[in-house]
Amino acid sequence: MPKLSEYFDYQLDSAGEPYMQVSIKGAALLRLPATNKGTAFSLQERIDLGLDGLLPPFVANLEHQIDRLYLNFQKQPDDISKYQFLISILDRSEVLFYALLERHLQEMVPIVYTPTIGQAVQQFSALYNRARGLTLSIENINRAESILENYPLHDIRMLVVTDASAILGIGDQGMGGLAICIGKLALYTAGGGLCPFQTVPVNLDVGTNRAELLNDPLYLGMHESRLSGDAYFELVDKFVAAVKNKWPKAIIQWEDFAKNVAFDVLARYRDQIPCFNDDIQGTGAVALAGLLSACRLKAQPLTQQIVVVAGAGAGGIGVASLIKEGMIRAGLSEAEARLQIYVVDACGLVVQSENTDSYKMGLAHNPDIYKDWNIVKSHQPNLLEVLTHTKPSVLIGLSGVAGLFTEEMIKSMAENHTNPIIFPLSNPTDNCEAHPKNIVEWTQGRAIISTGSPFAEVEYQGRHYSIGQGNNAFIFPGLGFAAILGECSRITDDMVLEAAYALAEYTEQHCLSAGHIYPPVSDLKKVSLIVASKVLAKALEDGSATRQDLNSMDLDAYVKNNFWQAKHLPFKYKANAS
């Protein structure tokens, strides 16, 4: 298969201005999303490139195209129709898609990402229209090397990879997981400056245990039960080996793996290839950043907070772990920090026992804690009992259980704290632990609230309360881009922690005075610039960045200069010598 790089390449003219050099003409240019400018091809380009007569006569520049498409976007009847409309643009003109997304981030991120992406994942087979990305399965994993060799893009720097075992709060989605990888990469480009022609979304189709998919004749994935154990890791091992061999400078972002597998995958490969897990580390960083901002809003130190995390999956343990690291950075010992964080799962408070999963042990409490609570050891304390006995100032939800935070729970926090911090972060919207409107009313407008999905502001007693969105998109684009620019050999815990503090710093400088603990999504590119430069500096400091020549550079300028811009370039034709 010819590489797309054989058809187009970026060049600089004698004045140092960029242009696109292409080796194909005519309709083929219009059929490649990477080269199709549509009605923006100039009259001379149409003549030179064999497009004369193939397009309407009016030459429409990029802004004109964006305006026309945005009008049509607004006419779509519902969110999933808007999603399909945007993906159809991506499938025919990538530059135009990203330019449109950049101009309307606040409005369109909830369409290409959470919460609408959840519907797109569930309806993946029904909505399927055009091949995008890669799928590795038990049927083709032994051909992984040749599959990567045949991929039409050659300089891959970022792969977002899922096995779709735990998509958002909707669980095992099989082949549909590819849609969430496509959505994540859209934000890497529109919000994080990563060139889309250096990325690939990957679905590891190891089967599905969802009966409705296995019984659906239209389902496009493997109609087999999920692999597990050694067979599962044999497949992932082969995939990682192929990536290391073909794309040695690539970063892997692991996405939406079930809790036990998520931690095992990260531990198994993080020293083999630069990688991170967004559900564990990205969610942890964005939650810590929001908590730091909330503490500054309250004029209280992080070290004074008692934190309860509801949910002990990848997100819950990731959040609790990073908050613990934040407390240690602020001066507490590991033991002191652990005593201020309580994780609750479906069985109750996470405690040390022979039945406790290994990935939870760093946050598990000694069961002797029950003695202080005057609770018999016949059961692990449930969420309400933990709240009653710990009197936390912070409650974070990553359980995926809608309505888990009851009126009784929230009111008890408001009784103990003037401004309780309450983050129901589960996605999508239907899985949120409590609606912000209810939290505002139950706390008489005193709570500091953030959610995972976007919610409209709440009006209460004549005041308007803005609801912050703890969106991972404030973290992973900058973190991943920094790792790419530094050609990192490893993505360290300190790099992830630095991303959290960079986001909190941006919020303090630009948003905190207005009472906001997260920036608006429209600020995503500005946030990503700050996160990327701070993380890159940390990578150079801890030795994970191999580009040591960057030590003598202005990192802010370097990151900004390497941000990919969605704009049309002039085209020049050059016959392919081969």
DSSP assignment string, 384-416:
HHHHHHH--SEEEE-S--TT-S-HHHHHHHHHH
**389 and 346 together in one domain:** yes
**290 and 437 together in one domain:** yes
Which pLDDT band, with edges at 50, 70 and 90, does 16 fall under? confident
Q: Is the pLDDT of residue 41 over 50?
A: yes
**259 and 365 together in one domain:** no
Sheet holding 307-310, edge to edge: 348-349, 341-345, 307-310, 394-397, 421-424, 448-451, 468-469
**518 and 543 together in one domain:** yes
Query: Which is nearest to 221 in space by CA: 167, 163, 168, 175?
Result: 175
Lowest-confidence pick of 250-259, 293-302, 369-378, 563-572: 369-378
The pLDDT of residue 5 is: 65
The pLDDT of residue 337 is: 97
Residue 356 structural domain: 281-473
Q: Is the pLDDT of residue 3 over 70?
A: no
Share of the chain above pLDDT 90, in %: 90
What's the pLDDT tens digit per position in 269-300? 999 999 999 999 999 999 999 999 999 999 99
Tell me if 176 is assigned to some domain. yes
When pLDDT is averaged across residues 486-514 and rounded to a whole number, the result is 97
Better pLDDT: 574 or 486:
486
**446 and 366 together in one domain:** yes
Query: Is 466 within 8 Å of 435 (Cβ atoms)?
Result: no
Q: Is the pLDDT of residue 370 over 80?
A: no
**499 and 524 together in one domain:** yes
Q: Is 356 in a helix, a strand, or coil?
A: coil
Place of tokens 């709240």: 387
How many helices and strands, by DSSP H and E, does the chain display? 24, 17
**464 and 527 together in one domain:** no
Query: Which is nearest to 314 in space by CA: 283, 339, 289?
Result: 283
**424 and 503 together in one domain:** no
The pLDDT of residue 377 is: 63
Active site (annotated) includes residue 238: no
Tell me if 49 is assigned to some domain. no
Q: Is 307 in a helix, a strand, or coil?
A: strand
| Amino acid occupying residue 79 | D
Q: Is the pLDDT of residue 89 over 90?
A: yes
Which pLDDT band, with edges at 50, 70 and 90, does 577 fall under? very low
Tell me the C-alpha to C-alpha distance, in Å, between residue 338 and each of 234, 276, 306, 311, 494: 36, 24, 10, 16, 19
CA distance 418 to 517: 17
Residues 6+ apart with CB under 8 A from 489: 274, 544, 546
Domain with residue 140: its CATH number is: 3.40.50.10380
Active site (annotated) includes residue 113: yes
When pLDDT is averaged across residues 560-569 and rounded to a whole number, the result is 94
What's the pLDDT tens digit per position in 128-152? 999 999 999 999 999 999 999 999 9
Tell me if 374 is assigned to some domain. yes
Number of domains in the chain: 3
Q: Does the CA dihedral 506-507-509-510 come out positive or negative?
A: positive
- Mean of per-residue pLDDT scores for the chain: 95
**145 and 176 together in one domain:** yes
H or E element at residue 240:
helix 229-246
**454 and 488 together in one domain:** no
The pLDDT of residue 332 is: 98
**239 and 339 together in one domain:** no
When pLDDT is averaged across residues 530-558 and rounded to a whole number, the result is 96
Which pLDDT band, with edges at 50, 70 and 90, does 7 fall under? confident
Lowest-confidence pick of 379-388, 477-486, 537-546: 379-388
**Which residues is 254 bridged to in the sheet?**
161, 277
Q: Is the pLDDT of residue 8 over 50?
A: yes
When pLDDT is averaged across residues 458-487 and rounded to a whole number, the result is 96
Q: Is the pLDDT of residue 1 over 60?
A: no
Q: Is the pLDDT of residue 169 over 90?
A: no
The pTM of this model reads 0.95
Q: Is the pLDDT of residue 463 over 70?
A: yes
**Selected catalytic residue, list 83, 98, 113, 219:** 113
**Selected catalytic residue, list 37, 82, 98, 184:** 184
Which pLDDT band, with edges at 50, 70 and 90, does 378 fall under? low
**445 and 484 together in one domain:** no
